[in-house]
Structure 1
Amino acid sequence: MEDTRSAILSFIQQHPFCTAKDIGNALNLTTADIRYHINILVREGKIQQVNAPGRASNRGRPATTFRINTVPSAHTIIWLCELLIKGITELSKDSSENPLTALLSPYFSALVPTTPSPTLRLNQTIEAMKGLGYEAHWEAHFTGPVLILSNCPYWPLPVKTPHICTLDGFLLEKMSGFQLEQIQRANLDSGHPTTCLFKTISPGSKTGANT
């Protein structure tokens, strides 16, 4: 199976915008066999399915062709992010300020509360974090609201570059107008907490414990 898919990938690499029939003829396999393997390769993100206007199918519509996926893999993106964060941290090692928040602070200057209502500010903050890929909500506690984040979109970056975790607290403080303290950090490895918890300390603060 793997050998067949490797052969298909090799053929597509050498013949971009080929059809399933082209691949089958070259590898002496049926079109049905080729489509089985192609569906797996598409799901894995290794190839892209493209309608080629210059090639028509039997019904006159553009033929479905395939090419190698040029989008960087998740592994490559994680490697690049780790490299960049480590470089930024190394350049800022003599500073007591978190290097990422120091670098990005000017770009987050517009993230200020748009309403005086604490509840509305928290709701707006939660919706903004959901837009970034988090599962987020907040709960009312006796000592004050607690913001809860899960489904970390950066994972597994925090394992090797924990500085990136402080960005969560920085963003939450900027958007909510509350000073926050992170009281739990998520670790998606088995047996560890799956959520990050941020306890509100006081409203209206410009800086917080994690910046």
Structure 2
Amino acid sequence: MKNVTGTNAGETTRSSGVPSERGTRARVARLILEHGPVTAADLGERLGLTPAAVRRHLDNLLSEGMIEPRQAHTKGQRGRGRPAKLFGITDAGRSAFEHAYDDLAGSALRFLEEHLGPAAVTEFARQQVAGLVARLAPAMRQIPAEQRVRMLAEALSADGYAASSTKTGTGGEQLCQHHCPVAHVAAAFPQLCEAETEAFGRLLGTPVQRLATIAHGDGICTTHVSPHALARATRIESKEPGR
């Protein structure tokens, strides 16, 4: 599937107004991309498709390498029957959702770098995430520290990053972004990822570390968020006399 977004410049319907096969398949693929591994039943419910229609689109996406089956991880006793099969996006599937303005954005940043220097690209990247910080900072100050990563994940998902948060065994958290709208541009200009990571640290009020990025070829963007207790201890230590 060379273009999952439609046959001609985003066209997803026939002249009759009935969704085309390609258009519906694109909706299935995008739902899998944005919501992580999902079951066929969940896809049918969300999109209003029959089980036979869902299976047809899944089979096509599987044969094209756009999606892959995943093993469901369940806690405790599930009961009789096999666990529901999940379907997740592949790297090929994710790359099919390239944005139309990637080339234009890349050219603009190259022009900026060539004429004003790398510092101008860094400043541009920081300006791009400034809106996220301004929008979330007031709310972040009003909620407990342990709820901030979840709020950030929800905000990023609303912006198209399909983000989630999980606790780690060390008391910290991981922020995962399953989709990156600017991945192809960020591959050439890492300042975009760096500015985003800096913004996460300011919003969450604790040190963060980027462990993986889609721009560098990883399956998802993963950011480790340090426990807030560690951040408080670091601030106290830095204020001790003689330091």
Q: TM-score, normalised by structure 1?
A: 0.52
Question: Residue 87 of structure 1 corresponds to which residue in structure 2?
Answer: 111
Question: Residue 169 of structure 2 corresponds to which residue in structure 1?
Answer: 142
The one-letter code sitting in structure 2 at the alignment partner of 1:88 is L
SS at match of 1:156: helix
The one-letter code sitting in structure 2 at the alignment partner of 1:142 is G
Query: CA 1:142 to 1:114, structure 2 compared with 1: closer, same or farther past 3 Å?
Result: same
Matched, 1:45 2:9: yes
Separation (CA, whole Å) in 1 of partners of 2:126 and 2:103: 22
Deviation at 1:44, TM superposition (A): 2.4
Question: Residue 206 of structure 2 corresponds to which residue in structure 1?
Answer: 178
Separation (CA, whole Å) in 1 of partners of 2:149 and 2:169: 16
Q: For residues 99-178 of structure 1, what are the structure 2 equivalents within 5 Å?
A: 99-104=123-128, 107-108=131-132, 110=134, 111-112=136-137, 113-143=140-170, 144-178=172-206
Deviation at 1:48, TM superposition (A): 9.5
Question: Residue 9 of structure 1 corresponds to which residue in structure 2?
Answer: none
Contact 1:180/1:202 (<8 A) preserved? no
List alignment gaps of at least 5 residues for structure 2: 1-5, 18-97, 233-243
Deviation at 1:174, TM superposition (A): 4.0
Larger Rg: 1
Query: CA 1:146 to 1:44, structure 2 compared with 1: closer, same or farther past 3 Å?
Result: same
Structure 1 stretches of at least 4 aligned residues deviating more than 6 Å after TM superposition: 46-49
More divergent stretch after superposition (147-156 vs 109-118): 109-118
List alignment gaps of at least 5 residues for structure 1: 1-41, 52-62, 65-73, 206-211
Deviation at 1:178, TM superposition (A): 2.9
Contact 1:150/1:196 (<8 A) preserved? yes
Q: TM-score, normalised by structure 2?
A: 0.46
- Provide the alpha-carbon RMSD of the alignment: 3.8
The one-letter code sitting in structure 1 at the alignment partner of 2:204 is S
SS at match of 1:134: coil
SS at match of 2:187: helix
The one-letter code sitting in structure 2 at the alignment partner of 1:155 is A
Report sequence identity in percent: 14
Question: Residue 199 of structure 1 corresponds to which residue in structure 2?
Answer: 224
- Summarize deviations over 1:140-164 as a string: whole Å, max 9, x none: 1133111111121223222322222
Separation (CA, whole Å) in 2 of partners of 1:187 and 1:95: 20
Deviation at 1:105, TM superposition (A): 6.3
Separation (CA, whole Å) in 1 of partners of 2:115 and 2:227: 33
More divergent stretch after superposition (134-143 vs 168-177): 168-177
Separation (CA, whole Å) in 2 of partners of 1:43 and 1:80: 22
Separation (CA, whole Å) in 1 of partners of 2:111 and 2:223: 28
SS at match of 2:183: coil
Contact 1:89/1:99 (<8 A) preserved? no
Compare the two structures and name the one with the higher strand fraction: 1
Separation (CA, whole Å) in 2 of partners of 1:196 and 1:48: 30
- Summarize deviations over 1:5-47 as a string: whole Å, max 9, x none: xxxxxxxxxxxxxxxxxxxxxxxxxxxxxxxxxxxxx632276
Contact 1:169/1:180 (<8 A) preserved? yes
Compare the two structures and name the one with the higher helix fraction: 2
Separation (CA, whole Å) in 2 of partners of 1:158 and 1:121: 25
Deviation at 1:102, TM superposition (A): 4.1
The one-letter code sitting in structure 1 at the alignment partner of 2:124 is L
Contact 2:126/2:195 (<8 A) preserved? no
